[in-house]
Structure 1
Amino acid sequence: MPYEVAYHWNIIDAVRVVDRQRVTIKFIRNNFQEIEIAQALTTPALLDDPTNHCVHVLDVFPDTLEENGYLMVMPYLRPFNSPTFGAVGEVVDFVKQTLEACINVPFDEFGYILTGRNSRDCAAANIMMDGSALYPEGHHPVRRDFSVDAVWPLNPLARLDNPVKYYFIDFGISTQFRQGESTLVTGWKGRDKELPELSMETPYDPFKGDIFILGNLYKKEILEKYHGVDFLWPLVTAMTKEKPNSRPNAQFALTFFTVLLENNVVRNMRWRIRPRDESIPERVVYDTVAMARETLHQLKRIVGSDRSA
């Protein structure tokens, strides 16, 4: 096997021998459909699409120790909120990427619609990011805030100046439909149990379900945790309407979000957002650091402009 396993569990990290790339290996039993959907969402053509935010499947092979078990290899990713958001622009980029991920629903070579990219399960635990730009020297796969050898604590770079890409993972309850088939589903499965229409008996639209779940994520993981992001409330209110037909689709939600930004609801993309549980002494220190960082950024920009003139 061309992988050096770092530790063992149903999801583990490993190092690919051929290029020393750190990867994640997921054990899957009795659910080959999850593998088929994940592979269909990351064909070469879809990988060339910058709006495709589905985790790339690098390899799949049978588990020789488990009957009906498979090992699916993917790039190593870290949670979308680790490290935490630090500036308004970082939140804006996160919302933009996650909305655009839900817009273009692809067809595979057999004419199946692959619903919702992460249908009914696009909750916080299933959105990850490639954080390599924030940790140029790498980090430990388990103690993520420490050096590769797990000894030294790390200070990540700001994602505002080092953009990251966000990915949807886990297609265990995603669904495929033939073109022309009804795209309604039933079922209670999914991480977000607050989705009003969840039902084992009454069919519902999984795409509108994705909109609610994503809006609920923005509410719980951003609005309820940070000051300075209230501009998201109109979007979140629309996305989390109780009745599915009252919610926007993904394209309208992204357009609405873009209009909010164009109407200058956000004055400074680089301004720091404050955690709601931050103490006053912490606020003074971090605001001072943020101001110093912004001053340095502006100086570099001015110097760069002078040199190019």
Structure 2
Amino acid sequence: MLAANAEEAEKFRKETEAGDYDLLEGEIWWRDRHQMLIDHGYQLRPRLRPGWEPSWNNSNKNPLYCEDAHVGLRLAGGGTIDAVRIMDGKDVGIRPIKRVSSERTIFKNLADAQHLTGQDQHIAHILDTFEDDRDPDLVFVVIPLMIPVWFIASSLKTISGIVDLFKQLLEGLSFIHSKNVAHRGLWSYIMLDAPSMFPRGFHPSDYFQDHSGVHQIKVLPPCKASGPVRYYFADFRHSIDVGQDAKHLIFGYEHPVGADFDAPEWTAIGTYDPFRADVFIIGKIFNEKFISKYENIDFLSSLVEAMTAKKPEARPTAADALKRLQTITSTQSFFTLRHQLVEKDSKEPESLLSENINILLDVAFHGLKIALKMPSRTISLVRRMKRGSKEKETAK
């Protein structure tokens, strides 16, 4: 988009000359490693390449509508940078981690353990690792580019969307605990990998913009996504490996600083069980983000209340919470789980009618979706079985 007039164009020129769009310190840190990343097969965005000049220079373009005007505010303090894997164009995230650190050890051990199971255990997949040529104390861990769950929470339009998130997080937490690790992470550390929910992608520096950095992002609810919707634990900077100790207790003051959700025992004097604290955090997240907001997911309340019990010993383990969730959801009908979420104190007839129409459409096309997903060899097998049955009837 161009400047509205000469006066606005002059304003943009002065802002640019004044340094309003200059690289931040965290961006400069990555720019200085551009060639190293190229050598390892990764390309940064134009803004972060050496010799970058704003694309709107010597033009009447509005910088707010230029991709390279997006400032990397999240890069301060060693944040994850986005890049493109040169060999196949895949979007990835690259995170610097201390070479000798519990974070690196825990992440690697969990990723290796996940690989051995042959199943997705909701640990972010490590695609590559390499050392920092400039700092021998750092290594880079490459993972798929993902978006924080907190950004898309309001896009979980159906009950099944909430249940699936709950289930996947408990699956991941159960796996982490089974390896004697307490996650102790924040809501902001839980990531979503679901490209089909973002038809035009998303911009890593501004989640409200699509991949172009110019247009508003388009987010589809999970129920309308054409591909997998998977949630991952992707940050282990606060995690602790408690070893084989059956009691796995740690001191109360050992907890993440600045946590957006915290457990009561984090402020206590003495020791506490970090596994039960993890359960509390997940329960509190669901209570504050979903249970307290929507009226038609009350069937989850009893489980969430148990997970957020004041006394840690009264809370279920992550594995037990997962079993209870599976039992609870098994009692809900196909129709119920596909209900649109209804906000409390919001019952306009139009919204309820729209909800019911969506349910009917979902049910009507459910069988068709399943049929379309059947492998061709399975369909061929069904046809052969039918022919065999007819031949037997003819023989009789």
Q: Same fold (TM over 0.5)?
A: yes
Distance (whole Å) between structure 2 residues aligned to residue 177 and residue 136 of structure 1 = 42
Distance (whole Å) between structure 2 residues aligned to residue 52 and residue 287 of structure 1 = 37
Change (3 A) 1:104 1:220: same
Q: Is the 8 A contact 2:177 2:275 kept in 1?
A: no
For residue 327 of structure 2, give the secondary structure of its aligned residue in structure 1: helix
Q: Is the 8 A contact 2:247 2:273 kept in 1?
A: no
For residue 337 of structure 2, give the secondary structure of its aligned residue in structure 1: coil
TM-score by length of 2: 0.66
Report whether the alignment pairs 1:170 with 2:239. no
Q: Which sits farther off after the overlay, 205-214 or 133-142?
A: 133-142
For residue 239 of structure 2, give the secondary structure of its aligned residue in structure 1: coil
Q: Which structure ranks higher in relative contact order (CA pairs < 8 Å, sequence separation ≥ 6)?
A: 1
Cα deviation, 1:221-273, whole Å, max 9, x if unaligned, reads 11123332222210111011111111111122122222222333886111111
For residue 82 of structure 1, give the secondary structure of its aligned residue in structure 2: helix
TM-score by length of 1: 0.82
Larger radius of gyration: 2
Distance (whole Å) between structure 2 residues aligned to residue 88 and residue 73 of structure 1 = 33
Map of 1:5 onto structure 2: 44
Map of 2:190 onto structure 1: 127
Match of 2:84 among 11, 15, 18: 15
Deviation at 1:289, TM superposition (A): 4.2
Q: Percent identity?
A: 27
Map of 1:115 onto structure 2: 181
Map of 2:289 onto structure 1: 221
Match of 1:60 among 113, 123, 129: 129
Map of 1:73 onto structure 2: 142
Report whether the alignment pairs 1:153 with 2:216. yes
Q: Is the 8 A contact 1:41 1:54 kept in 2?
A: yes
Equivalent AA in structure 2 for residue 222 of structure 1: F
List runs of 5+ in structure 1 lacking aligned partners: 108-112
Q: Is the 8 A contact 2:150 2:188 kept in 1?
A: no
Alignment of 1:1-309 (within 5 A): 1=37, 2-6=41-45, 9=75, 10-11=78-79, 12-29=81-98, 32-43=101-112, 46=115, 48-50=117-119, 52-66=121-135, 68-83=137-152, 84=154, 85-105=156-176, 113-116=179-182, 118=183, 120-121=184-185, 123-162=186-225, 163-180=228-245, 183-186=248-251, 187-190=253-256, 191-192=259-260, 194-198=262-266, 202-264=270-332, 268-276=336-344, 286-301=351-366
Q: What is the RMSD computed on CA atoms of the aligned residues? A: 3.2
Q: Is the 8 A contact 1:188 1:200 kept in 2?
A: no
Which one has a larger percent strand, Structure 1 or Structure 2? 1
Deviation at 1:297, TM superposition (A): 2.8
Cα deviation, 1:5-52, whole Å, max 9, x if unaligned, reads 235622221111122111112233476221121111112753654351
Map of 1:110 onto structure 2: none
Equivalent AA in structure 1 for residue 166 of structure 2: V
Which one has a larger percent helix, Structure 1 or Structure 2? 2
Q: Is the 8 A contact 2:200 2:218 kept in 1?
A: no
Distance (whole Å) between structure 2 residues aligned to residue 239 and residue 270 of structure 1 = 25
Distance (whole Å) between structure 2 residues aligned to residue 241 and residue 81 of structure 1 = 24
Change (3 A) 1:277 1:66: farther
